[in-house]
Amino acid sequence: MYKTLKVAILVIILIIALVACKGWQKPVESENFLMGTIISQRVYGKNAQKAIDAVNRRILELEELMTVNRSAGDASKINEMSGKSLVPIDQSTLQVLKKAVYFSRLTGGAFDVTVGKIVQLWGISTDNPNVPDKQEILDSLKLVNYEDIIIDEYSCSAGLRYENQSIDLGGIAKGYAGDEAIRLYKEYGITSAYINLGGNVVVLGKKPDGSPWRIGIQNPRSSNGKYIGIVEVADKTVVTSGDYERFFEKDGVRYHHIIDPKTGYPSNSDLISSTIIADVSVDADALSTSTFIMGLEKSIDFVENLEGVEGIFITKDKKVYATSGLRDSFRFSDESGEFEYVEKR
């Protein structure tokens, strides 16, 4: 009798433990509008809500520092004092600027955050976008040069060499925010989480069942969220830049938000979408922008030579290319039937 009772108690304890474990597998989900986009989180673990709240607070802090729409932020202060003096900045802004300069050099200027004046001229992310006068663009191009970013790590300050120069961190700040989210998840003991910062996806670990995260690569010509393929990842970031994210049309011409620093106009390469898969989100953010501008041939060769970085590129003629390291993790699946997967160049 006692033996039967002990077995029954043990079974009950095991059932309770299993139920509790299953409860922990249920994610806490969140959506917030920050950094000009919808931030979606799906976090597993007993501290999931605390981690989500901490991430939202941190992203808000970074937005205040790095957007040019906050006069008290670091980016605005640097622009205001361009050509005059360095200004004290937060350590986070310093790190982002260092990354920006690094990737500007690595990409031969395809990535350059000193396009701020030209971004303002186009106003594509505002309520009043317009096609600027050609002379305005030419004049503003004279102010675009990442080598004019001055960084003093000792005093944690930064500035721009000439008056009227302007930085815009929109092509890299969300990537840094994604990395900060992963850091905070880990601080709260989270081992499985997903965050999407408007096209910048970062995942921590695998799903609780041990399977990889399946991230859809958006069909850049579909308005209803359809995908052209799925990439399976764990502890990675998947960042996409495309001409469909923010744009306006005038006289039948589409003008998107990704400005080529060398022309002052929206990039006119043969790509309509560039996706980078990497370990670090701030890196992938800068690389997705620069490869979009560089075009297919240069981008594939460039990414193939970067350790721990892969890419998926979609061309204007609706062909899809993936770098060699994705052969086992990328599955082409185009519901529209409009795209062609080119396995070899």
Dump pLDDT digits (tens) for 296-312. Answer: 999 999 999 999 999 99
Residue 193: per-residue pLDDT: 98
What CATH class does 28-60+172-340 carry? Answer: alpha beta
On the question of pLDDT at 119 being above 50, the answer is yes
Residue 154 has pLDDT above 90, yes or no: yes
pLDDT higher than 80, residue 77: yes
Higher pLDDT, residue 31 or 222: 31
Q: What is the pTM of this model?
A: 0.90
Residue ranges of the chain that CATH labels 1.10.3980.10? 68-160
Q: Band the pLDDT of 13: cuts 50, 70, 90.
A: very low
The proportion of the chain whose per-residue pLDDT surpasses 70, expressed as a percent, equals 91
174-197 mean pLDDT: 98
Per-residue model confidence (pLDDT) at position 243 = 83
Segment 92-112 shows an average pLDDT of 97
When pLDDT is cut at 50, 70 and 90, the band that residue 199 belongs to is: confident
pLDDT of the residue at 344: 63
pLDDT at 224 exceeding the cut of 80: no
pLDDT at 95 over 60: yes
Across the range 38-54, mean pLDDT stands at 97
Q: Please give the average per-residue pLDDT across 185-191, as a whole number.
A: 98
Q: What average pLDDT does this structure show over 254-276? A: 91
The pLDDT value recorded for residue 22 is 46
Give the pLDDT mean for 177-204: 97
Domain with CATH 3.10.520.10 in the chain: 28-60+172-340
Calculate the average pLDDT of the chain.
90
Residue 124: pLDDT over 70: yes
Instruction: Enter the CATH code of domain 68-160.
Output: 1.10.3980.10
**At residue 21, does pLDDT exceed 70?**
no
Residue with tokens 């599955």, as numbered in its chain: 331
Give residue 264's pLDDT.
93
